Amino acid sequence: MNTSSTPLAPERPLRLGTRRSPLAMAQAEETRERLCAAHGWGESMVEIVPVTASGDKILDRPLAEIGGKALWTKELDAWLFEGEIDFAVHSMKDVETLRPEQFCIAAVLPRADVRDVLVGAASIHAIPPGARVGTSAPRRAAQMLHARPDLKIVGFRGNVATRLAKLQADEADVTLLAAAGLQRLGETGVGTPLSEFEWLPAPAQGAIGIECLVASDDVRGWLSAIDDRATHQAVLAERALLAALGGNCHSPIAVLTTHHESSLTVRAAIYSPDGAERIEASETFAPADADGPKRLAHRLLSEAPESVTVHFSGE
């Protein structure tokens, strides 16, 4: 899809920045394929430029202790600022809620499977009593402890292969991975998917976002051709909910968005970190209704005890 103000093709290959991890590289390849197919370009018109993110270098501590989600984006942000790359690809669930105003999410690809996959047991009920659950995600830890308070949470970070290797090395008995990531890596036979209606996913899970500078009109125009409107609307709503809640890397929150013809239903749950408290609510609103996520956040926080609200800064 081209506009009169956007050239049909760039004068030089566009540079797509990405993390160097196998999953990030797979997401970059998908982005390049979709962009070139949309415009009829040869693959050489998009150059993939990988960087090793800080979050991929530090694997012995939870992200929340060492800088949060910015550890996934800061190197790519610097390259965008400096003009080393033209746009960057991100897993949207790993992008901090508040971003520099010079950047914009110009496109979001069609959402993949939003579910979590349980690895090491056939179901949550089937996990042996007192077993160790390997995860560093506050949401997954709180959800698991809410369902099975007898289980023990052990820290578990790294890419998909690293976490599967840690499980094989008996560092934990079970773990949880995103179905979308497994599918993008071709690991479709791993684990048991959990119903997204019973086990709500992370905000923006399964969504790939492409970010560029607001001032890069041509790049924004080219990227608009691969933007999936329904996914983009859902991601914006979920990120707006996070902002209204005042959530951070320590805040256990799960959310599922369902599309209707002219509205979204956002169902969310917030937890105390130990899983003892769980508050759920839902709200249906038009995608353009910026107050919809705020109303939902207010309902959740107004009904939650202090053991939950202390982990959120929203009003």
Longest dimension (CA), the chain: 63
- Pair 210, 88: CB distance under 8 Å: yes
Would you name the residues annotated as active-site residues? 94
DSSP 8-state assignment for residue 169? T
Closest CA relative to residue 250, chosen from 309, 302, 304: 309
SS3 content of the chain, % helix, strand, coil (to 5): 35, 20, 40
Read off the tokens for 182.
């497994």
157/177 Cα distance (integer angstroms): 11
Buried-exposed string 64-92: b where 16+ CB fall within 10 A, e elsewhere: eeebebbbbbbbbbebbeeeebbbbbbbb
